[in-house]
């Protein structure tokens, strides 16, 4: 495209369907040998391919097909309005054609007012008014002469007048109307063109034409560069994305609108903004695309970017020198508040940048659009932009098409090309940047080189890709970086709630930090599960390994195959760099070496140990910093001997330790908050010291078939959740005192009728009554959650005593056998969640409390009726999947009731 050198160059040929860069429309006798001559020479010098309209060629009354085609094939039309421009019907026809191309083909129109004021052109005053008066008079004269011509004889002499018939009269009237319509189209074209922000050479550099020409050529060159950059033939899938963004922009709306494009680095935010900018630029009085604000502002300051906006929008080289940001804010608001402008602020990473460059809607004129690209959606929310647009990555079909374009056919390895191409596309996972980097890199390599490169990329990602993605990471605080690295290394694909428990136990206070990571497009939460882009995760792994790629003992986090390398080091080596580790024994052949090595990890805060560790295992376990201990699988009968001090341990989870008979002494775990015990099939006893853990909040015990007693828990002042499930031998849950000071609401989930309660658990008089109605008199404990799912409960098993739970919020009766409820749900005023899924005998739900938000009644094959829900003002989900006996009409009535609520 346009050359950056000052030396003459051969004009480049425009890309795509454009044949010319520029078409010049001008009145020859006014400007051909002066201003236009200088302008044409300057455009040619800078390699801008310009249509040369040779006015010496003979002309008819209308512009010919070849000239019309030249206009249509030009990217930019430069119209030079001079004193006698409107005298020429030829020039006016050109202008009408140009404005039509602007509307239909996206042609860029750039007006120059040479020796005339824009208002003269717009309002057809002075010379322009006189010219149109002549055109209208000539039109009338033509119509008259046509009529006169009909009564003349073939020799040209006036003969006896012949009566003109009606067809001639109609033809003359039609022709006169067509000419008047053409004149009206000329006027409209003049108005539309003069409303576009342009140049007045006499006002540039005190009227020095050479300087005016230079400014105009610079502007044309810049516009061509922007158009060319977004016309890249490799922009697969961009058209639909452009249309989606244009719909959100609502171009025809007269309000000022700011829209923010956000998403992961390298996802195509700048590309999308550039393409939309080029498509709609002609609909605005002025425009400016400010690239790389993050880098440019740090290099040159926001003041320079403010000057750039003024220069770009106003098309002026010389704008006020801005010394202070506040001064720039005032000047931008003052100069642009009456202009309809299009501004793109690309790669914003600080709120101060938005405040300096587009501080408020009222800085800009009606109909203005401000497009912002960023990795951080928080900035957009804080600046109160009108619309958020999350960038969509390439789907598989788009990605494979793009990759094929980027790796030319001549260079593709024929053998296994398709399979390897799909591997590359899978690795890139929809990221344009990754494909743009890898396509050219791999295109001329042999099949073995492709395989080697892909294997290496999974260990050492490409620097260009990592560098782009790492920008978001570098902007995080220390705690946020630790959160991100923990999720990238350990918790991707984890349930959010489970991972948050661990991150909170490690002291990260993760609620606000996770929100920041989401806002910066580093992680997502989908269906309650942590997720992130594959390359973002690889970037996290790379950061952990970066300084010592071959020495995992010096990493902050260790997982996967690096565990085997840890096994191979000297057991006496200090390992104070390691903070978190996940061990899977299925990948180890030297498992017996690991326990003493782990004992040297003095700063270990999190460990998940999965497999078949040595027995005994944890006698020399690191203790001081450990916050979370998860053991999954193993043959040991005990974890450690005696009382072990783990002063900071907050979470302990023991899973599938099938030989474990008893839990360790809890006396050395003063800060334990959450204790989970799952599938320990031989466990008989939980150490009674658990009842003295004053900070314990959550206890969950499942599938411990031999467990028969749970110790007194009279000192568990903070206990909120006590859950037992499928503990068939559990026959005695000892006393919970109800007069404990500050007792928080207790969630009790006892799944299975075989679990009964001792009469000392609550003040019962009849033990048999306890076994049947174990929720009786529990209102004093503020029970909020009750799970009686799959307990084979019939109609006689559920009585009105459940109404003794006025604070109940969640009631799960899934999979039971009752046909109706013998109590009124209306008397549970705080009930929010109600589940009767798979209750095959249930015929009717007669009433629901106004507090309920979710009702699950799927797979209730006998259900016929549901009562009035018009008072359920919080109800947002009523699920009746495969309830075949519910009348469809009743379903519509229910839906209508929900919509009205």
Q: How far apart are CA 556 and CA 604, in angstroms?
A: 9
φ, ψ at 70 (rounded to 5°): -60, -40
User: In whole angstroms, what is the distance from residue 64 CA to residue 69 CA?
Assistant: 9
Element (H, E) at 374: strand 369-374
- Residue 94 designated active-site: yes
Distance, in Å, from the CA atom of 314 to the CA atom of 194, rounded to the nearest integer, reads: 15
Q: Say if CB 251 and CB 283 are below 8 A apart.
A: yes
Continuous H helices in 195-252 = 209-229, 238-249
Task: Give the chain's radius of gyration (CA, Å).
Answer: 39
- For residue 641, CA distances in Å to 480, 618, 619, 621, 899 come to 38, 9, 7, 12, 62
- H/E/C letters for each residue in 586-611? HHCCCHHHHHHHHCCCCCCCEEEEEC
Distance of CA 112 to the CA centre of its chain: 42
Show the DSSP H helices in 715-855 as ranges. 767-772
CB 581 within 8 A of CB 604: yes
Residues 788 and 749 sit within 8 Å (Cβ to Cβ): no
Nearest to 115, CA basis, from 209, 21, 234: 209
Q: Are 874 and 832 in contact (CB under 8 A)?
A: yes
- Choosing from 72, 83, 94, 398, the catalytic residue is 94
Cα–Cα distance for residue pair 871/855, rounded to 1 Å:
14
**124 — alpha (psi -120 to 50), left (phi > 0) or beta?**
left
CA distance 607 to 842: 47
* Residue among 539, 516, 514, 541 nearest 529 (CA): 514
Query: Do 502 and 606 touch, CB atoms closer than 8 A?
Result: yes
- Specify which residues 109 forms β-bridges with: 77
Q: What is the DSSP letter of 88?
A: -
**Residues noted as catalytic:** 94
């Amino acid at each position: 495209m346009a050359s950056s050198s000052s030396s003459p160059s051969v004009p480049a040929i425009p890309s795509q369907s454009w044949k010319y860069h520029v078409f010049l429309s001008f009145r020859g006798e006014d400007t051909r040998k002066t201003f236009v001559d200088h302008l044409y020479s300057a455009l040619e010098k800078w390699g801008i391919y310009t249509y040369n309209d040779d006015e010496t060629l003979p002309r008819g009354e209308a512009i010919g097909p070849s000239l019309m085609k030249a206009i249509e094939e030009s990217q930019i039309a430069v119209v030079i309005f001079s004193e006698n421009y409107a005298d020429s019907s030829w020039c006016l026809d050109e202008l009408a054609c140009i404005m039509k191309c602007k509307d239909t083909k996206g042609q860029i129109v750039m007006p120059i007012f040479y020796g005339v004021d824009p208002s003269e052109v717009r309002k057809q005053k002075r010379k322009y008014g006189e010219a149109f008066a002549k055109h209208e008079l000539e039109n009338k004269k033509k119509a008259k002469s046509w009529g006169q011509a009909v009564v003349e004889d073939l020799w040209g002499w006036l003969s006896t007048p012949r009566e003109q018939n009606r067809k001639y009269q109609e033809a003359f009237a039609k022709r006169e109307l067509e000419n008047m319509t053409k004149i009206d189209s000329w006027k409209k074209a003049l108005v539309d063109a003069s409303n576009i922000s342009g140049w007045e050479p006499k006002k540039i550099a005190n009227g020095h034409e050479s300087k005016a020409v230079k400014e105009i050529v610079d502007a044309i060159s810049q516009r061509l560069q922007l158009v060319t950059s977004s016309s890249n033939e490799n922009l697969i899938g961009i058209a639909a994305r452009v249309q989606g963004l244009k719909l959100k922009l609502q171009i025809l709306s007269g309000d000022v609108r700011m829209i923010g494009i956000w998403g992961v680095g390298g996802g195509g935010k700048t590309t999308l903004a550039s393409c939309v900018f080029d498509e709609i630029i002609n609909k605005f009085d002025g425009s400016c695309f400010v690239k790389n604000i993050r880098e440019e502002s740090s290099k040159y300051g926001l003041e320079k970017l403010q000057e750039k906006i003024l220069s770009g929008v106003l098309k002026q080289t010389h704008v006020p020198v801005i010394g202070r940001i506040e001064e720039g804010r005032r000047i931008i608001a003052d100069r642009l508040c009456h202009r309809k402008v299009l501004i793109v602020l690309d790669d914003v990473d600080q709120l101060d940048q938005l405040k300096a460059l587009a501080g408020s809607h009222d800085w800009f004129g009606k109909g203005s659009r401000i497009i912002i690209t960023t990795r951080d959606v928080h900035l957009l929310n804080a600046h109160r932009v009108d619309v958020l647009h999350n960038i969509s990555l390439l789907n598989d079909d788009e990605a494979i098409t793009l990759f094929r374009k980027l790796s030319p056919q001549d260079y593709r390895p024929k053998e296994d090309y398709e399979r390897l191409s799909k591997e590359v596309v899978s690795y890139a996972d929809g990221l344009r940047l990754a494909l743009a980097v890898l396509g050219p890199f791999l295109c001329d390599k042999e099949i073995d080189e492709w395989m080697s490169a892909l294997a290496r990329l999974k260990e050492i990602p490409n620097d260009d890709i990592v560098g782009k993605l790492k920008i978001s990471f570098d902007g995080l605080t220390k705690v946020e970086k630790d959160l991100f690295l923990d999720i990238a290394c350990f918790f991707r694909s984890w349930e959010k709630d489970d991972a948050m428990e661990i991150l909170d136990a490690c002291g990260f206070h993760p609620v606000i930090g996770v929100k920041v990571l989401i806002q910066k497009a580093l992680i997502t939460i989908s269906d309650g599960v942590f997720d992130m882009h594959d390359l973002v995760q690889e970037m996290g792994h790379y950061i952990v390994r970066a300084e010592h790629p071959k020495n995992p003992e010096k990493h902050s986090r260790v997982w996967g195959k690096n565990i085997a390398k840890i096994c191979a080091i000297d057991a006496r080596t200090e390992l104070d760099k390691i903070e978190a580790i996940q061990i899977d024994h299925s990948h180890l052949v030297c498992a017996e070496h690991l326990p003493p090595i782990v004992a040297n990890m003095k700063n270990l805060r999190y460990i998940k140990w999965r497999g078949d560790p040595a027995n005994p295992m944890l006698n020399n376990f690191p203790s001081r910093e450990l916050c979370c201990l998860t053991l999954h699988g193993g043959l040991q009968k005990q974890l450690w001997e005696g009382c072990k001090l783990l002063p900071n341990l907050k979470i302990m989870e023991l899973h599938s330790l099938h030989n474990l008979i008893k839990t360790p002494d809890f006396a050395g775990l003063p800060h334990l908050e959450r204790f989970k015990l799952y599938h320990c099939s031989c466990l008989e006893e939980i150490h009674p010291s658990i009842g003295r853990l004053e900070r314990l909040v959550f206890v969950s015990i499942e599938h411990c078939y031999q467990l028969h007693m749970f110790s007194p828990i009279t000192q568990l002042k903070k206990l909120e959740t006590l859950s037992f499930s499928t503990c068939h031998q559990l026959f005695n849950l000892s006393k919970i005192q109800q007069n404990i000071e500050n007792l928080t609401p207790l969630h009790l989930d006892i799944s299975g009728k075989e679990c009964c309660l001792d009469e000392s658990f609550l003040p019962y008089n009849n033990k048999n009554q306890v076994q049947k109605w174990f929720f009786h008199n529990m209102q004093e404990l503020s029970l909020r959650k009750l799970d009686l799912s799959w307990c084979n409960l019939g109609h006689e098993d559920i009585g009105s005593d459940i109404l003794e739970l006025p604070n109940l919020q969640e009631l799960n009766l899934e999979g039971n056998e009752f046909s109706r409820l013998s109590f009124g749900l209306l008397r549970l005023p705080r009930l929010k969640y109600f589940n009767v899924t798979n209750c095959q005998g249930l015929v009717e739900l007669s009433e629901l409390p106004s507090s309920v938000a979710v009702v699950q009644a799927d797979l209730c094959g006998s259900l016929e009726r549901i009562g009035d829900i018009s008072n359920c003002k919080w109800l947002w989900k009523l699920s009746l999947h495969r309830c075949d006996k519910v009348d469809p009409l009743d379903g519509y009535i229910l839906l209508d009731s929900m919509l009205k609520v």
